[in-house]
């Protein structure tokens, strides 16, 4: 791997106690180009702008996918990733669907570990502090032919995040008109365009006082599928319910980890479709105890209530919520605080050879 180090670190200018998510990036980035039918030698470079021709394919046809993962530091300054093999496999699954060439595993892990070793001082200790890692690939060939590109760039950038306390209750609106994903489409891929398509419906929901949308199935808007950009969980009585994976659902690492931890902790889980009718009837009879979203950025995001057909429903507070119990268990594994019975932690070698 070719490496060019930054001449001077930006780190002393960063106020780590006042970070907004995803605004600040570390000193270095990993870059690898696909040209002439193969991935070329990867490089680590000082974080910098990239110059692209205005006709570059990604600007016109949106051929781009990404990942989101985190690095954590424990009290002894050891650096950990959480199930990074899952992110690696998923970016290639996403790439395949978008007709982007798959990325070699050794490049991904060598690049990621070297980048983290170089920029390890950007990972702060303490639960909640972490380094958000954003691998992404896009079509980099110039020209507006509407075909898959012949050139791609695979890049990894990293952004420090501080422990974050959600302010206020989160209300979500159940989608009755718009859809996030359709059968046979790209919903299961972390495709850039999936996010673009959510911004407008989400802005309408915001105007009505909801922070997010619960996406429903595109056919009849009958079953609940995802919460914004997170997977969704429901607690009815003491059962934890989540939607099955399909080609419309993103196979979240947090989702599958929560299911495993819940089962391991003796919580009864059900992986099955849940309809809006069932949600409302369980709310009315008092058995709906919790709703929460699950994803890498916040692990678990409790939802206080939901809107459907111009009615707003509010959940009662629960003692000993599944949301906080499960969050704590995952976080303790991520930060090397608790045992890791599933072998999910991955230690990053931070000594540079």
Ligand X SMILES: *Cc1c(COP(=O)(O)O)cnc(C)c1O
Question: Which residue lies nearer to ligand X by CB, 43 or 247?
Answer: 247
Question: Which residue lies nearer to ligand X by CB, 190 or 345?
Answer: 190
> Which residue of 79, 240, 250, 333 would you call a contact of ligand X, by CB under 6 A?
250
By CB under 6 A, tell whether 211 contacts ligand X: no
Minimum CB separation of residue 188 from ligand X in Å reads: 9
Q: Which of residues 54-93 bind ligand X (CB under 6 A)?
A: 68
Question: Which residue lies nearer to ligand X by CB, 140 or 254?
Answer: 254
By CB under 6 A, tell whether 175 contacts ligand X: no
Q: How far apart are CA 231 and CA 211, in angstroms?
A: 15
By CB under 6 A, tell whether 334 contacts ligand X: no
Minimum CB separation of residue 18 from ligand X in Å reads: 24
- Interface segment toward ligand X; rule CB under 6 A; list 49-57, 158-166, 204-212, 226-234: 226-234
Of 269, 333, 337, the closest CA to residue 299 belongs to 333
Minimum CB separation of residue 314 from ligand X in Å reads: 24
Write the CB contacts of 222 (distance below 8 Å, at least 6 apart in sequence): 216, 275, 276, 277
Of 314, 330, 322, 305, the closest CA to residue 227 belongs to 305
Count Cβ atoms below 10 Å from residue 223 Cβ, excluding itself.
Answer: 19
Q: Which of residues 283-322 bind ligand X (CB under 6 A)?
A: 295-296
- Interface segment toward ligand X; rule CB under 6 A; list 201-209, 223-231, 239-247, 283-291: 223-231
Site string for ligand X, 251-270 (x = CB under 6 A): -xxxx---------------
By CB under 6 A, tell whether 217 contacts ligand X: no
Write the CB contacts of 339 (distance below 8 Å, at least 6 apart in sequence): 333
Minimum CB separation of residue 254 from ligand X in Å reads: 3
Question: Which residue lies nearer to ligand X by CB, 63 or 229?
Answer: 229
> Which residue of 63, 94, 211, 229 would you call a contact of ligand X, by CB under 6 A?
229
Of 326, 341, 271, 333, the closest CA to residue 294 belongs to 326
- Identify the sign of the CA torsion 40, 153, 250, 165: positive
Question: Which residue lies nearer to ligand X by CB, 34 or 72?
Answer: 72
Of 237, 303, 236, 324, the closest CA to residue 275 belongs to 236
Residue 92: its H or E element: helix 84-97
- Beta strand segments in 36-169, E: 38-39, 43-46, 64-66, 69-73, 79-82, 130-139, 152-161
Q: What angle do CA 112, 58, 160 make, to 5 degrees?
A: 35
Instruction: Report yes or no: 218 and 248 within 8 Å, Cβ to Cβ.
Output: yes
Write the CB contacts of 299 (distance below 8 Å, at least 6 apart in sequence): 254, 327, 330, 331
Question: Which residue lies nearer to ligand X by CB, 34 or 154?
Answer: 154
Question: Which residue lies nearer to ligand X by CB, 46 or 62?
Answer: 62
List of residues contacting ligand X (CB under 6 A): 68, 190, 226, 229-231, 250, 252-255, 295-296
């Amino acid at each position: 791997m070719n490496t060019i180090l930054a001449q001077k670190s930006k780190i002393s200018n960063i106020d780590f106690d006042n970070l907004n998510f995803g605004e600040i990036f570390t000193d270095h980035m990993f870059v690898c180009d696909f040209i002439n039918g193969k991935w070329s030698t990867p490089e680590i470079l000082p974080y910098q702008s990239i110059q692209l021709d205005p006709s570059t394919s990604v600007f016109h046809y949106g051929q781009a996918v990404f990942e989101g993962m985190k690095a954590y530091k424990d009290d002894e300054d050891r650096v950990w990733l959480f199930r990074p093999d899952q992110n690696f496999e998923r970016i290639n699954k996403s790439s395949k669907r978008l007709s982007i060439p798959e990325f070699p595993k050794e490049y991904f892990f060598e690049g990621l570990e070297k980048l983290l070793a170089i920029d390890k001082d950007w990972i702060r200790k303490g639960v909640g502090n972490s380094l958000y890692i954003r691998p992404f690939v896009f079509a980099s060939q110039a020209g507006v032919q509407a075909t898959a590109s012949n050139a791609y760039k695979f890049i990894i950038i990293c952004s420090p995040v501080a422990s974050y306390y959600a302010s206020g209750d989160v209300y979500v609106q159940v989608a009755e008109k718009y859809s996030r994903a359709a059968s046979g489409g790209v919903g299961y891929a972390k495709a850039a365009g999936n996010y673009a398509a959510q911004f407008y419906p989400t802005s309408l929901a915001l105007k009505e006082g909801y922070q997010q949308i619960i996406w429903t199935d595109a056919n009849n808007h009958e079953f609940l599928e995802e919460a914004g950009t997170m997977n969704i969980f429901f607690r009815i009585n003491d059962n934890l319910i989540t939607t099955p994976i399909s080609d419309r659902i993103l196979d979240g690492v947090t989702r599958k980890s929560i299911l495993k931890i819940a089962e391991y902790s003796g919580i009864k889980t059900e992986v099955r479709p849940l309809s809006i009718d069932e949600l409302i009837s369980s709310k009315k009879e008092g058995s709906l105890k919790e709703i929460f979203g699950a994803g890498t950025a916040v692990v678990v995001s409790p939802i206080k209530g939901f809107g459907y057909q111009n009615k707003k429903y509010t959940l009662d507070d629960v003692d000993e919520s599944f949301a906080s119990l499960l969050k704590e268990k995952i976080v303790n594994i991520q930060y090397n605080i608790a045992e890791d019975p599933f072998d999910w932690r991955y230690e990053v070698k931070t000594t540079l050879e």
